[in-house]
C-alpha cells in the first residue's frame, strides 16, 4: 500500500500535516526528535565505554606466587 504513494502523494501529506499542526509545532517536534537522537547516541557511547571498562577490569589478579606454583 505504501509502495505506490510517490512524490505527489508525499507532498500532499506534507502540506496537510503543515496545515494541521503549523510551522512552529513541527519545528518544535523536530527539535525534540533531534534531542532524542543525541541522547540515544550518548547512551550507546556510554554503554560501550562501560563494557570496555568492565572488560579491562576483568584481568587476571592471581598473585605471582600462585602462578609459579601452577607452572611447576
Question: The domain containing residue 38 runs over which residues?
Answer: 2-58
Per-residue pLDDT at 26: 83
| Percent above pLDDT 70 for the chain | 79
In a domain, 49, yes or no: yes
Q: Total domain count for the chain?
A: 1
| 38 — pLDDT class (breaks 50, 70, 90) | very high
Name the maximum alpha-carbon separation found in the chain.
Answer: 82
The pLDDT of residue 51 is above 60: yes
In a domain, 68, yes or no: no
In a domain, 29, yes or no: yes
Amino acid at each position: 500500500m505504501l509502495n505506490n504513494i510517490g512524490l505527489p502523494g508525499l507532498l500532499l501529506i506534507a502540506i496537510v500535516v503543515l496545515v494541521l499542526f503549523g510551522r512552529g509545532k513541527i519545528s518544535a517536534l523536530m527539535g525534540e526528535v533531534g534531542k532524542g537522537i543525541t541522547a540515544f547516541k550518548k547512551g550507546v557511547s556510554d554503554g560501550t565505554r562501560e563494557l570496555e571498562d568492565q572488560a579491562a577490569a576483568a584481568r587476571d589478579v592471581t598473585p605471582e606466587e600462585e602462578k609459579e606454583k601452577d607452572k611447576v
